[in-house]
Structure 1
Amino acid sequence: MATAELTTTQKPDWAGRYFHIDQVLNSGGPRTDPQFAAGDEVKKFLRETSKILVIGAGGLGCEILANLALTGFKDIHVIDMDTIDISNLNRQFLFRPKDVGHSKANVAAEFIMKRVPGVKVTPYFGKIQDKGEDYYMQFHLVICGLDSVEARRWINATLVNMVDESNPDSLKPMIDGGTEGFKGQARVIIPTVTSCYECSLDMLNKPTAFPICTIANTPRLPEHCIEWASVLEWPKVFADKKLDTDDPEHIGWLYKVAAARAAEFKIEGVTWSLTQGVVKNIIPAIASTNAIIAAACCNEAFKIATSSAAYLNNYFMLIGTESVYSYTFEHEKRADCPVCGGEAVDINLKSDTTVEQLIDILIEKQDIQIKKPSLSTSTKQIYFQAPPQLEQATRPNLEKKVSELVPDGGDITVTATTLPFNLSIRITYSS
């Protein structure tokens, strides 16, 4: 999917356009960064030189794009792989009913350029994985407004791997925002300097999992019917065809099948939006939470771009369930982080632990969060989830003890479609 060619009418800035912003940039203050140089140069960098990437043009991304444009950032790029659904219109305020079915990135870019003269927004309708390091290297900083943990892990690992100590320009700050109902967070990640996204995986809520026996035999909730359709019926009907949770046709099939099963068991509540929410683990978004978190993210972007104040160190939390409460703290780097720590993750096993049990341990491990891992060493294939021929060939190893295949202190390479990097684990044994 290619970038849409959009044009914007460049208009000179009128007197007083950035009056309030200039109050910050014209002089220093008690919290000003030592590197801050007040005056025309910093204003010129913000409005003419800086280039910023926004990943995601949903509820959070729409607010971020509007805030950045009104703050004075004039060269903005946005990536989003989704199209606009009618359910988006209650909180994604750059879209209108006529936009349903169109690319979020393209529509958001066009709206911002029409609404804020002089701003250029370059959209890309596709996946972040479509772009290489040379693409991300052009930006001064990246803001994520994503609803996917996998996408966050991928861009986090990419930006960390891009850092070259001999080239200061290779370090690209990342600002990550996220919302979950009335809760939200904003954080600043300086790759290789602060804790990265992977360092804090254990803070995430574990996805809800329903017992297979319940969804197969005695469903009681609409979610049970949807899980039955996605976990049991899809593989049965489509064999090796991978379920794409971003494909409306796939979601439509699941919705139809789940609704039929719900009717059979007299269960109400299966809807298209719930089907999408269950298979994508989506939690309903609140517009006010998006607005607060987007503002926090854009404040940090402004501070980093201008050095006009100290940026967040490094985690901001918002909790608005019963009242409005916020909390800021420094999330420390994990020494054993597989992305920014650079070391193998140590795992101690009993000497009789089987390969199948090790896989279960990796899936359950909160600070790794991996699905369907494949295992290998530098000299042997231990177990591979795919392709089918390789899975069948390595399946007998599942019952073998890990100690039969890997010596004490030996390393195993773990790969998975949900893991944006090769994870190295070092195995030690206890009796």
Structure 2
Amino acid sequence: MADPSEHGRWRDLDKLLLRPGNLVGPNFEPGPDLRADLQAYVKVLVVGAGGLGCELLKDLALSGFRNLHVIDMDRIEVSNLNRQFLFRLEDVGKPKAEVAAKRVMERVGGVNIIPHFCRIEDKDLDFYSDFNIIALGLDSIEARSYINAVACSFLDYDSEDNPLEETIKPMVDGGTEGFKGHARVILPGITPCFECTIWLFPPQVKFPLCTLAETPRTAAHCIEYAHLIKWGEVHSGKTFDADDPEHMQWVYSEALKRAELFGISGVTYSLTQGVVKNIIPAIASTNAIISAACALEALKIATGCSKTLSNYLTYNGLAGLHTKVTEFIKEKDCLACGPGVLIELDTLITLQKFMELLGEHPGLLLSKPSVTYRGKNLYMQAPAVLEEMTRPNLQQPLFNLMGKVPKDVIHVNGTTLTNGKKTSCLRKLRVVFKGIVDGVVDMDTAGGA
């Protein structure tokens, strides 16, 4: 498909970027260079290449973004084809990220999309730090939480606990469930992050094992019986892989037998996938609407052509059409995006001495603390086996245990007195080491323990 002239192609975009207005962002500077900068320098990562991710890639490419990456670990299945419009029957079995990137580049001239067929956990922090905006098209709470933690890890605060603007990694998050959906803007340190509003997501449905084993009443009960009970009985020691078609087919067949035994109808292969992988029913039109909202917010963040959403949009197309924007408030003590308690230490202070200081610090007063750094247990009070494993760290300098970084965040779990009662609490600490210049110990200023 031949591209129209550059002027005609970006006519609608230029209406937003070439003239001022009353709703623009505080740093908006209209002019022809703004579109050029958007296309040349802004890098966006799309996380997920499913129903919402396909729409996001298309919308971002058509909105002037030319430097895009997409990451997804899944391969295309037949059941994806009814709503993930970038895929065709001949693509079944191929990586979603690779096919989605190829299809958008075929239709939108000038855009460059780099696919990553892997788990989001396989990429290091340097990979994520390279992007100006992260757009989420996920259907998993765990995946959202992981990306949120990554984005918040770049956040740094000044001495007055104000977030440093250059360390804020903007995220645009979308989600759909049938005829309902949401779009939100997350500016870590300014707006609520994912963990600040984790209560917005309902708990996942869990079935009692006794119901699955003794008195199944629904098709989902039969499927979960085959998945959680029967698989282990037949395949002792073999891990079930939800992305393996043969494993899924086996669960489907066993669920059918279970359903016939109890006179239950409704077990289908599609439902089996949905129950086992916790897939929420998706509708193409909902994905398109939510993606449009997310792409527009990404454009606002990148250019300042309008104030961003503040900060959570909900959509309901079940009966007519209803949208609403709610401004949620950031949790001051959020363990992901909150500033945490600032502690300045000498480079030679041991982990044991550091733990003693936690009990003396007026903002903490923690006793019997367990210390975690980037998911690694530095010292655990319990259980006994972990205490024994981490005990040798007590005599090590904390600076060494943290990889000799000049400053970073650690988490501490301990007990404190609240209204005369001992309560367990988790605290986020910003540890800064004295006498560190560009990651090197300055021996003139570094003190001892």
Q: 1:106–1:39: structure 2 CA closer, same or farther, 3 Å change rule?
A: same
Which residue is equivalent to 1:348?
A: none
Which has the larger displacement, 212-221 or 246-255? 246-255
Cα drift, residue 51 of structure 1: 0.8
- Which whole-Å CA distance do the structure 1 matches of 2:335 and 2:2 have between them? 45
Which residue is equivalent to 1:196?
A: 193
Q: Select the structure that is richer in strand.
A: 2
- Listed as ranges, the matches of 1:181-260 within 5 Å are 181-260=178-257
Cα drift, residue 253 of structure 1: 2.5
- Which whole-Å CA distance do the structure 2 matches of 1:224 and 1:212 have between them? 9
Greater RCO, 1 or 2 (C-alpha within 8 Å, sep 6+) = 1
Cα drift, residue 257 of structure 1: 1.9
1:299 equivalent to 2:296? Answer yes
Which residue is equivalent to 2:383?
A: 382
Cα drift, residue 10 of structure 1: 12
TM-score (norm 2): 0.74
Q: 2:31 aligns with which of 21, 30, 39?
A: 39
Cα drift, residue 41 of structure 1: 2.1
Indicate if the aligned counterparts of 2:132 and 2:170 stay in contact, CA closer than 8 A. Answer: yes
- Which whole-Å CA distance do the structure 1 matches of 2:340 and 2:6 have between them? 53
Which has the larger displacement, 214-223 or 332-341? 332-341
Give, as a single letter, the amino acid of the residue that structure 2 aligns with 1:149.
Answer: I
- Which whole-Å CA distance do the structure 2 matches of 1:12 and 1:19 have between them? 11
1:147 equivalent to 2:147? Answer no
Which residue is equivalent to 2:403?
A: none
Cα drift, residue 98 of structure 1: 1.2
- Which whole-Å CA distance do the structure 2 matches of 1:178 and 1:100 have between them? 24
- Listed as ranges, the matches of 1:290-329 within 5 Å are 290-329=287-326
- SS of aligned partner of 1:177: strand
- Listed as ranges, the matches of 1:267-306 within 5 Å are 267-306=264-303
Which residue is equivalent to 2:8?
A: 16
Cα drift, residue 342 of structure 1: 5.6
Give, as a single letter, the amino acid of the residue that structure 1 aligns with 2:151.
Answer: L
- Listed as ranges, the matches of 1:173-184 within 5 Å are 173-184=170-181
Which residue is equivalent to 2:404?
A: none
Which residue is equivalent to 1:95?
A: 87
Which residue is equivalent to 1:136?
A: 128
Give, as a single letter, the amino acid of the residue that structure 2 aligns with 1:382.
Answer: P
- Which whole-Å CA distance do the structure 1 matches of 2:184 and 2:213 have between them? 41
- Which whole-Å CA distance do the structure 1 matches of 2:276 and 2:91 have between them? 25
Which residue is equivalent to 2:334?
A: 337
Cα drift, residue 239 of structure 1: 4.3
Indicate if the aligned counterparts of 1:11 and 1:118 stay in contact, CA closer than 8 A. Answer: no
1:66 equivalent to 2:58? Answer yes
Which has the larger displacement, 141-150 or 33-42? 33-42
Which has the larger displacement, 215-224 or 332-341? 332-341
Indicate if the aligned counterparts of 1:10 and 1:119 stay in contact, CA closer than 8 A. Answer: no
Cα drift, residue 328 of structure 1: 0.4
- Which whole-Å CA distance do the structure 2 matches of 1:158 and 1:21 have between them? 31
Indicate if the aligned counterparts of 1:10 and 1:118 stay in contact, CA closer than 8 A. Answer: no
Give, as a single letter, the amino acid of the residue that structure 2 aligns with 1:160.
Answer: C
Q: 1:61–1:164: structure 2 CA closer, same or farther, 3 Å change rule?
A: same
Which residue is equivalent to 1:126?
A: 118
Indicate if the aligned counterparts of 2:105 and 2:112 stay in contact, CA closer than 8 A. Answer: yes
Cα drift, residue 250 of structure 1: 2.8
Indicate if the aligned counterparts of 1:182 and 1:319 stay in contact, CA closer than 8 A. Answer: yes
- Which whole-Å CA distance do the structure 2 matches of 1:383 and 1:183 have between them? 47
Cα drift, residue 101 of structure 1: 1.2
1:276-298 deviation line (CA, Å, top 9, x unaligned): 11122222101111111000000
Cα drift, residue 201 of structure 1: 1.2
Give, as a single letter, the amino acid of the residue that structure 2 aligns with 1:262.
Answer: A
- Which whole-Å CA distance do the structure 1 matches of 2:105 and 2:143 have between them? 27
- Which whole-Å CA distance do the structure 1 matches of 2:244 and 2:134 have between them? 27
Q: 1:117 aligns with which of 109, 112, 116?
A: 109
Indicate if the aligned counterparts of 2:157 and 2:339 stay in contact, CA closer than 8 A. Answer: no
Cα drift, residue 426 of structure 1: 4.5
Give, as a single letter, the amino acid of the residue that structure 2 aligns with 1:146.
Answer: L
- Which whole-Å CA distance do the structure 2 matches of 1:279 and 1:342 have between them? 38
Indicate if the aligned counterparts of 2:155 and 2:337 stay in contact, CA closer than 8 A. Answer: no
Give, as a single letter, the amino acid of the residue that structure 2 aligns with 1:152.
Answer: R
Indicate if the aligned counterparts of 1:317 and 1:327 stay in contact, CA closer than 8 A. Answer: yes
1:344-364 deviation line (CA, Å, top 9, x unaligned): 9xxxxxxxxxxxxxxxxxxxx
Which has the larger displacement, 224-233 or 113-122? 224-233
Q: 1:293–1:379: structure 2 CA closer, same or farther, 3 Å change rule?
A: closer
- Which whole-Å CA distance do the structure 2 matches of 1:290 and 1:423 have between them? 40
- SS of aligned partner of 1:290: helix
Cα drift, residue 50 of structure 1: 0.8
Cα drift, residue 262 of structure 1: 1.7
Give, as a single letter, the amino acid of the residue that structure 2 aligns with 1:32.
Answer: V
1:161-213 deviation line (CA, Å, top 9, x unaligned): 12235875442100000001111000000112211001111111121122222
Q: 2:47 aligns with which of 38, 41, 55?
A: 55
Q: Which runs of 5+ in 1 are unaligned?
A: 1-8, 345-373, 385-389, 394-420
Q: How many residues align?
A: 361
Give, as a single letter, the amino acid of the residue that structure 2 aligns with 1:300.
Answer: E
Indicate if the aligned counterparts of 1:12 and 1:118 stay in contact, CA closer than 8 A. Answer: no
Percent identity (aligned): 47
